[in-house]
Homo-oligomer: A and B are copies of this chain.
Amino acid sequence: MAMSPTSASRIVASLLDEELIKEVHLSQGEEVGRKATYFVPNEHAVFSVGVEIDIGIIRVGLMNLVGDLFVDHSFKTETDEIEKVVEFIERTVSNLILEANISSDRVIGVCVGLPGLIDNELGIVELSAQFNWKQVSLQQMIADKLPYNIYIDNELKLKALAEYVSTSLSYENVVMIGFGNGVGSALITNGEIYRGKDNVSGEIGHMTLDPYGVHCTCGNFGCLQTYIAVDFLLDEASRTRPIKNMDELVESYKQGDRLAVNIIEKAATYAAIAINNVVCAYNPDAVFLSGCLIEDYPEIRALVIEKHLNSTSFPEARSFELQVTQLKGNGVVQGAALSVQRKFIKNLYFKDGA
């Protein structure tokens, strides 16, 4: 929407006042007359912290106002007990800020991303199957330990936001699909995370394909994730001989083991179905594939793309770009830190009443 010059001046003055932007004077060669004044973000004005927690691991990062994640660490964790995880978050975030030598009043907030059904408004983990947490007030538990604004959110939604920002915001509707211990998706539309009523949109892993299919952890039968998610693949594979993990299954696949080939082929077929179904629902400009099955196993990634290309898809839905995530392991941390900045900037803007 257009903004009046008065509003614009008022906002610029207030941003200068808070040292969030700085003036730059560019002298343009021999030109005569008044020099133009530009305003650029003051990258050291404020900082946001992104945290990712997952089974056995915690990642933290510090982002400046121009979007650089300039410190970034990951640590193994030994327990998924909620109190211990919260202590670990407290310690790693405090150390991060100490290490970067930043005054704590410059830290605008900390966002923690994790897998599961996360009520981002109430700050509650409704259900995280991975951690086996139910109805945990994670935001409050962290806020009791750390003197910052604390937020929590679903990891895939944050990662999709990071992907959207890192691809130069060039798509209007972007979907990220995660294939891993579960199957999920996240839509960014109009530059914002599409959340739905309870922040549980995109739970495509629980779309029913077959009402008489395999029993899912959610209580339903034949959910999409029963055909693809890691635990279900290992369960199936282990019926004839013990298979410990995906590495072992993929190794057997590479050696042409019939059982492993059948299981991985079937999973890839259903991953291509997941892509089709997401496209039917959201009609996106681009779909980004992510998750350990895609990111850690090039063989599976190639097979999923091949199955997708060979499917006779709904014609109009063809016109989207299929890409593999370009984010490194810190995608969730990036998205978490970005989401804090976006809240901060939105609040500034509204505060000003423009």
How distant is A351 from chain B, measured CB to nearest CB, in Å? 10
Indicate if A202 sits at the interface (CB-CB under 8 A): yes
Whether A189 pairs with B194 at a CB distance below 8 angstroms is: yes
- Which residues of chain B have C-beta atoms less than 8 A from A313's C-beta? 220
Whether A281 pairs with B1 at a CB distance below 8 angstroms is: no
- Which single residue of chain B is at the shortest CB-CB distance from A209? B209
Whether A276 pairs with B208 at a CB distance below 8 angstroms is: yes
Indicate if A32 sits at the interface (CB-CB under 8 A): no
Indicate if A203 sits at the interface (CB-CB under 8 A): yes
How distant is A32 from chain B, measured CB to nearest CB, in Å? 32
- Which residues of chain B have C-beta atoms less than 8 A from A353's C-beta? 2, 4
List A residues 179-231 near B (Cβ within 8 Å): 185, 189, 194-211, 218-220
The total of chain A residues at the interface (CB under 8 A) is 57
- Which residues of chain B have C-beta atoms less than 8 A from A319's C-beta? 197-198
Whether B219 pairs with A312 at a CB distance below 8 angstroms is: yes
Whether B354 pairs with A1 at a CB distance below 8 angstroms is: yes
**Complex-state Cα separation, A278 to B281, whole angstroms:** 8
Checking B198, B205, B283, B312 against A220 with a beta-carbon cut-off of 8 angstroms, the contacting residue is B312
**Are A269 and B203 also in contact (CB < 8 A) when A173-B197, A281-B282, A314-B220 are?**
no
**Complex-state Cα separation, A127 to B196, whole angstroms:** 30
- Which residues of chain B have C-beta atoms less than 8 A from A201's C-beta? 281-283
**Complex-state Cα separation, A219 to B317, whole angstroms:** 13
Indicate if A144 sits at the interface (CB-CB under 8 A): no
Checking B185, B282, B354 against A2 with a beta-carbon cut-off of 8 angstroms, the contacting residue is B354
Whether A196 pairs with B283 at a CB distance below 8 angstroms is: yes
**Complex-state Cα separation, A259 to B269, whole angstroms:** 33
**Are A195 and B283 also in contact (CB < 8 A) when A206-B317, A316-B117 are?**
yes
List A residues 243-290 near B (Cβ within 8 Å): 269-270, 273, 276-278, 280-285
Whether B350 pairs with A1 at a CB distance below 8 angstroms is: yes
Indicate if A7 sits at the interface (CB-CB under 8 A): yes
Given contacts A4-B4, A196-B283, A218-B312, 19 further A-B pairs with CB under 8 A are: A2-B350, A4-B7, A127-B315, A173-B196, A173-B197, A195-B283, A197-B284, A198-B283, A198-B316, A200-B316, A201-B283, A202-B281, A202-B283, A206-B314, A210-B210, A218-B315, A219-B315, A220-B311, A281-B282
Q: Which 7 pairs across A and B sit closest by C-beta, in order of nearness?
A: A196-B283, A201-B283, A281-B281, A207-B277, A206-B314, A2-B353, A219-B312
